[in-house]
Amino acid sequence: MKIYTRKGDHGQTGVFGGKRESKDSARIECNGAIDEANSTLGLLRSKLEPSHDWQPNLHKIQKDLMDMMSHLARPSDSSKVNTNPKPVDGASFCEAWIDQLEGAMTEPSDYFLLPGGNEISALCHVVRTQIRRAERRLVTLSKEDPACVEEYIASYINRLSDLFFTLSRAEMASKGIEEERWQLFLYKRKRKEEQV
């Protein structure tokens, strides 16, 4: 089967259930942002050794992103049933991994950081920012088709950006690379000012 149809798409693309939507619709923009993050995550995984401790969890996240994309591609008024899994444990999965990573680090996460450090850490930041963009598009889609954006998707996407921030720090800590700090998180600055 050929990947192209030779029919031209006139700026439209198919969504789950057979309908067609504009390629700049909130649904397609949202899935495009998630797809981009997933592709960068694939690049990140390719830079890690196959036996690296992160590989199983990153593999799970990639599959979960694909499943979430399939559910977001299904308009809530579609009669076709989506039988792909719903990764409803995503947020708690991220939180557990974040707690594990932070438990192994000596410095708390109190600062905004300049992205970088080394290639792995920098790629974690790229994934983080792409996930943030996907989250913004998700908000737009939730206004247009609220029933399509289930709470588990919004929560999972939100926690993923926190996770990749933490992964970037864990990578730098494991390699003995000093973090380039910008400034304290706002709530930390306020607390410090109150103590003065």
pLDDT of residue 27: 85
Closest CA to 184 of 108, 110, 109: 110
What pLDDT is attached to residue 194?
61
C-alpha dihedral, 112 to 55 to 44 to 184, nearest 10°: 0
Tens-digit pLDDT profile for the chain (196 aa)? 565 555 655 565 555 545 666 676 888 899 999 999 999 999 999 999 999 999 999 999 999 999 999 999 888 888 788 889 999 999 999 999 999 999 998 877 777 778 888 999 999 999 999 999 999 999 999 999 999 899 999 999 999 999 999 999 999 999 998 887 777 766 555 565 666 5
Residue-level pLDDT at 97: 98
The Cα 150–Cα 29 span in angstroms is 17
pLDDT at site 191:
60
Strands (E), the chain: 12-14, 20-22, 111-113, 181-184
Spatial separation of the C-alpha atoms in residues 112 and 191, rounded to whole Å: 16
Domains of the chain, each with CATH number or no CATH: 13-74+90-195 (1.20.1200.10)
Report helix, strand or coil for 58: helix
Which structure tokens are listed for 139? 């908000």
> In whole angstroms, what is the distance from residue 130 CA to residue 126 CA?
6
Backbone CA torsion sign across 58, 59, 62, 67: negative
